[in-house]
Each structure stands twice: as C-alpha cells, then as structure tokens.
Amino acid sequence: MNVKLNNGVEMPQLGFGVFKVEEGKTVVDAVKKAIEVGYRSIDTAAIYQNETGVGQAIRESGVPREELFITSKVWNSDQGYEATLKAFDASLEKLGLDYLDLYLVHWPTPEQDKYVDTYKALEKLYEDGKVRAIGVSNFKVPHLERIFSECKVKPVVNQVELHPYFSQLELREFCQKNEIYVEAWGPLMQGGEALTNEVIAKIAEQHGKSPAQVILRWHLQNQIIAIPKSTTPSRIEENFQVFDFELSKEEMEQIDALNQDKRQGPDPDEMNVY
C-alpha cells in the first residue's frame, strides 16, 4: 500500500530498514528476502555502511528499479552544502544507482548548525532530478520551522523514533498540519519491551497475529510510514503480513494509551555525534 507524499510521489507505507545489518552476505540476503516477500521500499543510510550490499540485492532481486523505493541519508560529518553533494554521489555510487527515491538529512545535529545548508544541497539534488523526494530525520518542531522559513522545498517526510511507548503525538500533529508524513524508525521499539507488553499480546492473540504485527498495524492505521528491520527470514515475512487484518477503534486506543514518552535513541537536541 502506497501513500502520496506532498510532492505527488508515491511511497510504500511499509518498508524494510537495514540499520545494523552487516555489509556483505547478511545485508544482501536480508534485502533479497524482503523484496521476495513483497517489500518495495528499502531504508539505508551512509552511516550503516551497507549501501553496497543493498545495491547488490536490488540488482539481484530481478525487480525493476522503478518498482522500488530507495532511501538513504547524509551522515552528520558530511553536513554542509558541498560536502552533502559529495556524500550523495558517494551513496549513489555504492548503491550502483543513478537516482534515489528519497534522501534525508539524518540528524539535525544542532551544535554544528549546518542543517539548513545541508537541506539546501538536498533541494539542489531534487531540482537536478537526482532524487525524487527530499526530507529530514530526527527533526523536532523548531528544526522544521527553520527549514520552512529558510528553504523552498517542503520536506516530504520526517523520519523519527516512534513506537507505542514513544508515540510522538505532538510532532505527529504538527507534521500532519504541514503535510509532512511521519516515518517511524524503531517501529518495533528496536526489539524492546513493547513487543512483550500484555495489552499488545492480548490484542495479538485475539487476531491470531504476533505482537510485532499488531504494532505495525497500529502504525499503518495511524497514517505512519514504518520501516521495521529484521535479518531473520521468518520475521522479515511476518512483518509484511499486516494487510489482512484491522484493529478496532478500541484496540487502537488501548495501544495509544501505552505511551510513556520513552525514547530508545538519543534526543535530537543532544545528538551531536559525527
């Protein structure tokens, strides 16, 4: 199932993430399995150091390039206008592609204060047709507001940590008002306690589904783009089998009520690792 981004480009609402998936055979096998079971969107980043394997898997999948949606991200140490243009070319080369579907600023890293210039480089890549859509990741409202006031092209997505224990309601409302899709990283809480939560377990049992499938369904019904990761073939498949059931309004509300504003990753205001 696709969503339509604010520039008209369509993006699968469920994709496959490859953070911490080792370069080489591990990532090639995982991405090929994902494509085989139906995923058409792959989320990588320069810092994951597996773009070469992602590219190999894409080529070996046999699925035409235009049917796939490939995302990568510029790493913090490559921020700044010229450095970002170079980093983009390096990513493209590793992936063996001649365009990306989506390119993101990975973190705002406010301390170095380069994200506006970085985003302007993304605008240039977009204008030049090297990327079909541009966006940001880990941006809070003030970072987005600065992009709105200093840049021309509205980000299509903001990829942020989001799961039932950290549901980001305020940011979601702000993004929705501004026609920016929220994309959840860590949608399964990076394997954390949401997967063993009793409320989720009970809902899962009632539907004959797994807790992971219920959490992913909760994302989809909340209009969130989700990119779960796994290297286990059965889980890669399981995480894609979420289009054949529906959570009721009450079940959605029960999961909404689990929010604890509990992050797994760093607060973007304090994330200054390069």
| 181: three-class secondary structure by DSSP | strand
Amino acid (1-letter code) at residue 86: K
Please identify which residue in 14, 31, 212, 225 interacts with ligand NAD, judged by CB under 6 A. 212
Amino acid (1-letter code) at residue 29: D
Separation CA 28–CA 96 (nearest Å): 14
- 109 in contact with ligand NAD (CB under 6 A): no
Q: How far lies 58's CA from each of 30, 64, 69, 107, 229, in Å?
A: 11, 9, 10, 26, 17
Q: Is the dihedral of CA 128, 107, 176, 219 positive or negative?
A: positive
Token pair, residue 111, equals: 């301390």
The label of the residue with tokens 């980093």 reads 87
Q: Which is nearer to ligand NAD, 8 or 204 (CB)?
A: 204
Separation CA 7–CA 181 (nearest Å): 11
Q: Which is nearer to ligand NAD, 106 or 217 (CB)?
A: 106
- 50 in contact with ligand NAD (CB under 6 A): no
- 137 in contact with ligand NAD (CB under 6 A): yes
| Active site annotation includes 48 | yes
Which residues, at least 6 apart from 198, have a Cβ–Cβ distance to it below 8 Å? none
- 101 in contact with ligand NAD (CB under 6 A): no
Q: Which is nearer to ligand NAD, 80 or 186 (CB)?
A: 186
- 17 in contact with ligand NAD (CB under 6 A): yes
- 239 in contact with ligand NAD (CB under 6 A): yes
Phi, psi (deg, nearest 5) at residue 17: -100, 150
Q: Which of 75-83, 84-92, 165-173, 225-233 is the region at the interface with ligand NAD (rule: CB under 6 A)?
A: 225-233
Token pair, residue 11, equals: 């993006």
- 228 in contact with ligand NAD (CB under 6 A): yes
Q: Which is nearer to ligand NAD, 128 or 273 (CB)?
A: 273
Residues 166-205 contacting ligand NAD, CB under 6 A: 185-191, 195
Q: Which is nearer to ligand NAD, 47 or 152 (CB)?
A: 47
Per CB under 6 A, residues contacting ligand NAD are 17-19, 43, 106, 137-138, 159, 185-191, 195, 210, 212, 227-230, 235, 238-239
**Active-site annotation, residues:** 48
